[in-house]
Amino acid sequence: MASRKSSSKSRDENDKYSVLLPTYNERENLPLIVWLLVKYFGESGYDFEIIVIDDGSPDGTLEVAEQLQKIYGEDKILLRPRAKKLGLGTAYIHGIKHATGNFVFIMDADLSHHPKFIAEFIEKQQEGGFDLVSGTRYSGNGGVYGWDLRRKLISRGANYITQVLLRPGASDLTGSFRLYKKEVLERLVEQCVSKGYVFQMEIIIRARQLGYSIGEVPISFVDRVYGESKLGGNEIVSFLKGLLTLFATT
């Protein structure tokens, strides 16, 4: 049931959590992430729905999603596909429109974000009445699996520069495992102009600007297994572009 509440300090029967899962070529991971989500939501007893936003994946992700819908029910798994790859930012916008929960989880479908943390996100949110709770790989027990020294150095360096230049008041800017109050997310998404994962940075900076409260939960990030580390010049250039744009405009 759709319900709207500005803040809730204690567990509320009416709270519902919509999980947005953008997918592109995730047919191997989608059944697993859905299984894990159902498991952990089931254990913690919160009401939830999973919204799969597939962008016409050529590997047949949507077909797999349809089968999962048969297994878990159409009230739990919602399919909101788009015909072609239109990017992550618009995938979230598209997903929110169809969310019936008063809270929205955003996470990656590639198993790098583990659903075991959802209960911690929710508890954190309730504890401080936060407008958004962000998963962080960079503080507390947070961390990453599968990164070599070079990858760690690039990541820490980029994060440090971002912290110095933007002082965002959150330790993980590009991570996309987050819990939002739905109306807060709607408002933030309206304001953001960036594309790709710079969108994740912008959204948290705008949140600060608009005076929204931010909580953090340390998460372990088990990265997708890549054939080889492909992070190169292109990614660095687009990161710097995004960073400087935010530096000059926010």
Partner 1 sequence: MTKLLEWLLGVSAVVVAWGLLTFDLLGLRLPQAYRDVAWPMPMYLLLVFGCYSLATVGYRVATFNDCEEAAKELQAQIQEAKQDLQKRVEILIQRLINPGVELWPLAQLLKEMIRQRLIKVCRMAGTQASHVEHEPTRLC
Ligand X SMILES: Nc1nc2c(ncn2[C@@H]2O[C@H](COP(=O)(O)OP(=O)(O)O)[C@@H](O)[C@H]2O)c(=O)[nH]1
Instruction: Give me the residues that bind ligand X (CB under 6 A), please.
Output: 22-24, 26, 53-55, 85, 87-88, 91, 108-110, 197, 224
Q: Does residue 225 touch partner 1 according to CB under 8 A?
A: yes
Select 2 or 240, whichever has its Cβ closest to ligand X.
240
CA proximity to 39, closest of 52, 24, 28, 50: 50
Phi first, then psi: give them for residue 7, nearest 5 degrees: -150, 150
Task: Of 183, 95, 172, give the one whose Cα is nearest residue 134.
Answer: 172
Nearer CB in complex with ligand X: 47/198: 198
Residue 11 engages partner 1 in binding (rule: CB under 8 A): no
State the binding partner of 59 from partner 1, ligand X, Mg ion, none, CB within 5 to 8 A by kind.
partner 1
H-only helix segments in 73-222: 88-97, 118-128, 149-166, 182-191, 198-209
Residue 188 token pair: 């933030």
| 247 counts as binding partner 1 under rule CB under 8 A | yes
Burial classification of residue 101, based on how many CB atoms lie within 10 Å of its CB (0-12 exposed, 13-18 middle, 19 or more buried):
buried
Q: CA-to-CA distance for 86 and 54, rounded, in angstroms?
A: 10
| Cβ-proximal residue to ligand X, closest one | 22
Chain residues in the site for partner 1 (CB under 8 A)? 24-25, 27-29, 31-32, 35-36, 59-60, 63-64, 67-68, 70-71, 110-111, 114, 138, 141-147, 149, 152-160, 162, 164-167, 173-174, 196-197, 220-227, 229-231, 235-236, 239, 246-250
